[in-house]
Amino acid sequence: MVSIDNFRKIVLLLNHAEEMPHFEKTSFRVNKKIVATLDVKTKRVVVKLSEIEQSVFSAYDKTVIYPVNGAWGKQGWTIIELDKVKKEVLKDVLQTSYNNVAPKTKIKNMFKGAHIL
């Protein structure tokens, strides 16, 4: 289980990550591209993965990580249940999403600190 505060701390450790509003949710972006969105009410995070990455992470536990319904899910948008996910798995998913959206020059040092929460 990862609290909303811990999620924020982890995602904001990504290089150049910024927190911004996104409709009724909060987004975390790199170069204006969404790495993750957070829905505080449902305690869910949505990230962008490739189809293969989505399949691999969903295989971990389909009640914890699973595709968004409909066309968005088929495009790789994936839900993570913060109340159920382990911190190490969450960090792996966030790194993968970051790699998908960040410019290659920013990927070298994904996290600002050597030790992640």
Question: Residue 89 is part of a domain; what is its CATH number?
Answer: 3.90.1150.30
Considering the domain boundaries, does residue 69 fall inside one? yes
Q: How many domains does the chain have?
A: 1
Q: Which position has the token pair 């009724």?
A: 24
> According to the model, what pLDDT value does residue 23 have?
81
> According to the model, what pLDDT value does residue 51 have?
93
Structural domain span for residue 31: 4-104
Q: pTM to 2 decimals?
A: 0.85
Considering the domain boundaries, does residue 31 fall inside one? yes
> According to the model, what pLDDT value does residue 21 have?
78
* Residues 93/47, Cβ–Cβ less than 8 Å: yes
E strand spans, the chain: 18-22, 25-30, 33-39, 44-48, 65-67, 77-81
In Å, how far are 20, 27, 60, 88, 93 from 53, measured between CA atoms?
25, 21, 11, 16, 9
> According to the model, what pLDDT value does residue 117 have?
47
> According to the model, what pLDDT value does residue 16 have?
86
Mode of pairing for the β-strands spanning 33-39 and 25-30: antiparallel
Block means of pLDDT (10 residues each) for the chain, length 117 residues?
Answer: 94 89 88 93 96 94 96 95 96 94 65 50
